[in-house]
């Protein structure tokens, strides 16, 4: 949890700086975009699965000169299990299982203009995570989904591509989520890692459009 505390302190400092130095407001603007990239894990989740892919859609409603509400819908794909003994315990057939996490999150995002073309962003918030274990059965898939709460923090850069409000977006985000209650197959993260809480990072790039 020390990582999350460090992120919180950083975001508070960033917000104070924005309040004093924001040069171009986002008040009343709507910001939409998409990002693609990679996810990588920490501790026992890395042993159970590994690095994967990331797809994220996000929308920001500007509420003030330097801050807004950020809603994100994300798909975190961790790929196939690396623990065949756990796969056998789950399915009794030995199929290789796949982990997919979907998240719906809300955050307070802050914006700070560094130059005419570059702005920095930071945010923190909460989310609902659908932790899904996928079992292939012939040409179909069986899915077990466990819903858990979590928190996240992010840092990013925006690079202006056009005067019309199109930006290249680079973003790093850390998620810290619950793995569920009892250590059984109904809680996939807890079942594969034995941990009560799990953290993972996403690194993405994409296109963001400022409107309004």
List, for residues 25-49, the tens digit of each pLDDT value. 788 899 999 999 999 886 788 889 9
The pLDDT value recorded for residue 2 is 55
User: Right CATH number for 2-211 from 2.40.160.20, 3.40.47.40, 2.160.20.10, 3.10.20.340?
Assistant: 2.40.160.20
Q: Average pLDDT in the 1-14 region?
A: 47
Burial of 115 (0-12, 13-18, 19+ CB in 10 A): exposed
Q: Average pLDDT in the 6-13 region?
A: 46
The pLDDT value recorded for residue 13 is 45
Q: Average pLDDT in the 81-87 region?
A: 89
Q: Are 58 and 71 in contact (CB under 8 A)?
A: yes
Burial of 108 (0-12, 13-18, 19+ CB in 10 A): middle
State yes or no: pLDDT of 73 exceeds 80: yes
The pLDDT value recorded for residue 24 is 55
3-state secondary structure of 99: strand
Measured CA to CA, the distance from residue 22 to residue 111 in angstroms comes to 7
State yes or no: pLDDT of 7 exceeds 60: no
Q: Average pLDDT in the 116-127 region?
A: 95
Q: Average pLDDT in the 55-65 region?
A: 94
Residues 6 or more apart whose CB falls under 8 angstroms from that of 91 comprise 97, 135
The secondary structure element, H or E, covering residue 87 is: helix 84-91
State yes or no: pLDDT of 152 exceeds 50: yes
């Amino acid at each position: 949890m020390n990582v999350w505390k460090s992120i919180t302190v950083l975001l508070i400092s960033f917000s104070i700086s924005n309040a004093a130095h924001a040069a171009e407001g986002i008040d009343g603007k709507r910001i939409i975009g998409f990002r693609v990239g990679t996810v990588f894990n920490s501790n026992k989740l890395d042993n159970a699965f590994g690095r994967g892919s990331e797809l994220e859609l996000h929308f920001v409603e500007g509420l003030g000169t330097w801050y807004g509400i950020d809603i994100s819908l994300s798909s975190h794909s961790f790929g196939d299990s690396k623990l065949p003994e756990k796969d056998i315990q789950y399915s009794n057939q030995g199929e290789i299982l796949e982990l997919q996490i979907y998240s719906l999150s809300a955050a307070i995002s802050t914006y700070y203009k560094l130059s005419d073309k570059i702005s920095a962003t930071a945010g923190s918030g909460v989310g609902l995570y659908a932790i899904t274990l996928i079992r292939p059965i012939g040409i179909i898939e069986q899915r077990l989904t466990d819903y858990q709460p979590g928190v996240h923090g992010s840092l990013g850069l925006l690079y202006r591509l056009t005067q019309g409000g199109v930006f290249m977006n680079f973003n790093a985000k850390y998620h810290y989520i619950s793995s569920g209650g009892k250590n059984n197959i109904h809680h996939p993260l807890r079942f594969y890692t034995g941990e009560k809480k799990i953290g993972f990072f996403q690194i993405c790039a994409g296109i963001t459009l400022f409107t309004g």
